[in-house]
Structure 1
Amino acid sequence: MTDTARLHPITPGTQPALAELEAKIVAKRGKVTPLYQYLLNSPDMAQGWEEFTRAVRQRNSLPGDLRELVILRVAVLNRAPYEFDAHVPFALKEGLAAHKVDAVKEATLSPAFSELEHVVLELTDTMTRDIEVPDALFARIHEHFQGQALLDLCITIGAYNMVSRVLVALHIGH
């Protein structure tokens, strides 16, 4: 175990029973990342996690820059630097400007964000901190998102709250 991690990571290639799952992870991600080394402690959860988070990131109707902005904000709010650092390259690749990556770290929402980004970040903050979304905020969100896009936005916020909370609880990446 690392100095602060609360669970032992599984070193890839050390447990024959995990070989098939590790191969699937490598095929989808290129390697068994540090997070997945911890997730391998529960093979069924690791497989489900991979499928779910992959759907959230790669089969999502949200524009990539907006999706990654949400993920970065959740990581900031939940004090999950591992998640933040892991997603900065994705955010930049999806076209999120570097100054917005920096601005998402601030406690108050920056004027650097567009009106759409601002309302999405307000929803992210509310769902992460308070859970319940007031009707007035939801009405503003609904001006921009309906149907699948609305659901994808809420699932992205919820999913990355799950990710960051597991990382923080287990001290992964500290």
Structure 2
Amino acid sequence: MRIAPITPGSNPDLAALEARIAQARGRISPLYQVLLNSPPMAEGWEQLLSAVRNRSTLPADLRELVILRVAVLNGAPYEFDAHVPHARAAGVPETLIEALRLPSLNAIESLGPLQSSALRLTDQMTRDIQVDPALMHQLASSMEERQLLDLVVTIAAYNMVSRLLVALEVGH
């Protein structure tokens, strides 16, 4: 890691924040141990990512598909591995989890129309930043506005996560 992690319990000033993170996450992962170097960032990060994971209108399987795909596209195996159990729990088949590792989504035949569109959006937002207006129109016609916003925020948030992990070599 390029920034030393804070060992949980080593700084009494962080006790309340560590307790909130542990309560929300079940533990204080290496990612949060690094984020504890900046308590305001750790706190904001935890609030945002908890909202994305726990208060989104996206079906859990779709959420996990896009999170896994972002991790693959950004070369963040730590994040991919962290979300495989969540994807399995959401009912994502093992063959689909593995297929998300492929450079192209074209070979994946088991995707439904919404999954396919959401993953194309993930690829466009992550690789190109710009999104094809026709793809956004297609998604807007098959999702409620809040659900579409939740999808875009999930993709954006997990780009943030994976880019921090890669830049700071967390999980190496």
Residue of 86, 94, 103 corresponding to 2:82: 86
Residue of 153, 157, 163 corresponding to 1:165: 163
Does residue 34 in structure 1 map to residue 25 in structure 2?
Answer: no
Counterpart for residue 59 of structure 1 = 55
**Equivalent-residue separation in structure 1 for 2:54 and 2:17 (angstroms):** 20
- Work out whether residues 103 and 112 of structure 1, in 8 Å CA contact, stay in contact via their aligned partners in 2: no
Provide Cα deviations, 1:27-79, integer angstroms capped at 9, x if missing partner: 22221111111010000110110010000000000000000000000000000
Please list every run of 5 or more consecutive structure 2 residues that lacks an aligned counterpart in the other structure. Answer: none
Counterpart for residue 98 of structure 2 = 102
Secondary structure of 2:32's counterpart equals: helix
Count of residues paired in the alignment: 170
> What letter is aligned with 1:11?
T
Residue of 130, 138, 141 corresponding to 2:139: 141
Report the Cα offset of residue 161 of structure 1.
Answer: 0.4
TM-score by length of 1: 0.95
Q: What's the Cα RMSD here?
A: 0.9
> What letter is aligned with 2:9?
G
Residue of 1, 6, 11 corresponding to 1:10: 6
**Equivalent-residue separation in structure 2 for 1:124 and 1:31 (angstroms):** 28
Secondary structure of 1:143's counterpart equals: helix
**Equivalent-residue separation in structure 1 for 2:148 and 2:19 (angstroms):** 34
**Equivalent-residue separation in structure 1 for 2:24 and 2:113 (angstroms):** 35
User: Higher mean Cα deviation, 159-168 or 144-153?
Assistant: 144-153
- Work out whether residues 123 and 137 of structure 1, in 8 Å CA contact, stay in contact via their aligned partners in 2: yes
Counterpart for residue 112 of structure 2 = 114
Provide Cα deviations, 1:77-100, integer angstroms capped at 9, x if missing partner: 000001000000001101111111
**Equivalent-residue separation in structure 2 for 1:38 and 1:108 (angstroms):** 33
Provide Cα deviations, 1:108-132, integer angstroms capped at 9, x if missing partner: 1111222221111100000001111
Please list every run of 5 or more consecutive structure 1 residues that lacks an aligned counterpart in the other structure. Answer: none
